[in-house]
């Protein structure tokens, strides 16, 4: 291995993962900040934001498949001591995500209203929901580029730099939200979306600058059009199944949200709030899994399979322990958390039981997240995609509909469906890792 590669692999999981966690926390908290600040103004605004936030998350998930493929390919090439191919992978990934970002922004601008209707958005919320969504859609272009740049920085061991950029982006978003909501309230949710857009544009500019200063990688326009067939094949080999798995997950939540919209505005507002809380809890498992993914990519690239196998189970133990501590703290302070988010007692009453369910749900989710990312990093990305189809659409959605709608259990019924899905997928993917069949899936990078 090259010296830089060895430096990354020799780091502890904690040293690699904590800046990733903070970065993810800041990244995901953008929509959470929007939700929180708007919730202090109007519950109807929160309900209007819910569908838009889910659609935005759906698009980001699609873009993430390129960044996932990019990071795995870079890690395996660096592990195999081929740094030039790693740099080329960054350019190809940026080009692909730019195309996707522009396409989805146009789609949401032209057809966003129809999408909101199909999602059963309450009629009273439609105008505000569209004003928020079509502007948020413009954010997809800089966000698509940022995802690749941030993933590249992490693989090269520069996660702290990406973290500070996200901190700046969030500071700009908060200031913009405060100005709009209190200084220009007539702008409504459109103003909140504009504040998010300004922050995202600043973020991508700073990441491009840091890539050049921190890694000495200067993005060249010509490099965006030089597509290597070998690199593109490797990126898509990891990225397409990863996109499918992540896409299925978000569409699963979007479908569940459509069910919840049938229950009423209070339930829709409650789901919007709790979905953000669940996202924050998931970040601990996500940070651990991404840190481990980098290790596995380097080690598999260097054909050090036994180290990758053992390191993943060590990472899983850490991720499970931290997640359990966090979810127990959320359960202990559930009323205080909800009182900070909303003054609507009906919404609070709906959500409190979900905190108890999460004690059992989140450890299963952590097993799933860590194992899925390890399998992807090894090159075995198709297996998690198959388990996603089987359990999300064969268990979660039908069970959630039956319990939530047919049996009248409401939000609890929907989330019991999520619970069953996460545990079944997590245990199945853990069995796959234990079988070591993934060792035959290493990318062809020589």
pTM summary value: 0.77
Q: Considering just the CA atoms, what is the radius of gyration of the chain in Å?
A: 21
For residue 88, the model assigns a pLDDT of: 82
For residue 328, the model assigns a pLDDT of: 95
B/e letters for 358-385, b = 16+ CB within 10 Å, e = fewer, are beebbbbbbbbbbbbbbbbbbbbbbbbb
45 compared with 361, residue with greater pLDDT: 361
Q: Is the pLDDT of residue 3 over 60?
A: no
Q: Exposed/middle/buried for 159, CB within 10 Å: 0-12, 13-18, 19+? A: buried
Tokens of 8: 């990354």
Contact 82, 302 (CB under 8 A): no
Region 204-209 average pLDDT: 91
Span 83-101, pLDDT tens digits: 777 788 888 888 888 888 8
Q: What is the DSSP string of 140-154?
A: HHHHHHHHHHHHHHH
Span 420-439, pLDDT tens digits: 999 999 999 999 999 999 99
Region 18-28 average pLDDT: 77
Residues 6+ apart with CB under 8 A from 227: 92, 95
Span 346-363, pLDDT tens digits: 888 889 999 999 999 999
Region 212-230 average pLDDT: 77
Residues of the chain with pLDDT > 70, as a percent, come to 94
Phi, psi of 108 (to 5 degrees): -70, -30
- Name which of 103-112, 217-226, 255-264 the model is least confident about: 217-226
């Amino acid at each position: 291995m090259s010296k830089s590669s060895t430096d990354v692999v020799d780091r502890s999981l904690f040293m690699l993962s904590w800046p990733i966690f903070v970065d993810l926390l800041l990244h995901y908290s953008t929509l959470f900040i929007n939700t929180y600040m708007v919730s202090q103004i109007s519950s109807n605004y929160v309900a209007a934001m819910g569908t838009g936030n889910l659609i935005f998350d759906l698009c980001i998930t699609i873009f993430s498949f390129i960044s996932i493929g990019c990071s795995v390919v870079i890690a395996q090439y660096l592990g195999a001591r081929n740094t030039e191919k790693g740099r080329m992978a960054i350019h190809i990934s940026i080009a692909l995500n730019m195309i996707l970002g522009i396409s989805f922004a146009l789609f949401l601008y032209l057809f966003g209203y129809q999408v909101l209707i199909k999602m059963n958005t309450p009629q009273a919320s439609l105008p505000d929901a569209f004003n928020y969504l079509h502007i948020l859609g413009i954010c997809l272009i800089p966000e698509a580029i940022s995802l690749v740049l941030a993933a590249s920085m992490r693989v090269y061991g520069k996660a702290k730099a990406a973290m500070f950029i996200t901190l700046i982006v969030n500071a700009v978003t908060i200031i913009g939200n405060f100005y709009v909501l209190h200084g220009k309230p007539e702008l409504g949710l459109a103003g909140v979306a504009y504040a998010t857009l300004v922050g995202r544009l600043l973020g991508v500019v700073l990441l491009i600058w840091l890539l050049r200063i921190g890694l000495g990688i200067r993005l060249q326009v010509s490099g965006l059009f030089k597509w290597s067939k070998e690199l593109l094949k490797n990126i898509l080999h990891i990225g397409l199944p990863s996109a499918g798995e992540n896409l299925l997950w978000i569409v699963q939540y979007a479908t569940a949200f459509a069910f919840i919209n049938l229950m009423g505005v209070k339930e829709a507002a409650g789901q919007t709030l709790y979905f953000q809380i669940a996202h924050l809890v998931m970040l601990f498992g996500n940070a651990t899994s991404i840190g481990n993914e980098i290790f596995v990519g380097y080690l598999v690239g260097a054909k050090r399979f036994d180290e990758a196998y053992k390191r993943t189970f060590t990472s899983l133990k850490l991720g499970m322990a931290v997640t359990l501590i966090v979810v127990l703290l959320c359960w202990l302070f559930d009323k205080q958390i909800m009182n900070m988010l909303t003054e609507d007692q009906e919404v609070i009453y709906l959500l409190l039981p979900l905190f108890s369910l999460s004690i059992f749900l989140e450890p299963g989710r952590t097993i799933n997240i860590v194992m899925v990312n390890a399998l992807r990093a090894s090159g075995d990305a198709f297996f998690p995609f198959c388990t996603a189809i089987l359990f999300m659409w064969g268990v979660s959605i039908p069970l959630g509909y039956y319990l939530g709608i047919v049996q009248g259990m409401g939000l609890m019924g929907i989330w019991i469906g999520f619970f069953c899905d996460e545990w079944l997928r997590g245990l199945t993917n853990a069995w796959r890792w234990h079988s070591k069949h993934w060792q035959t899936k290493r990318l062809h990078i020589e």
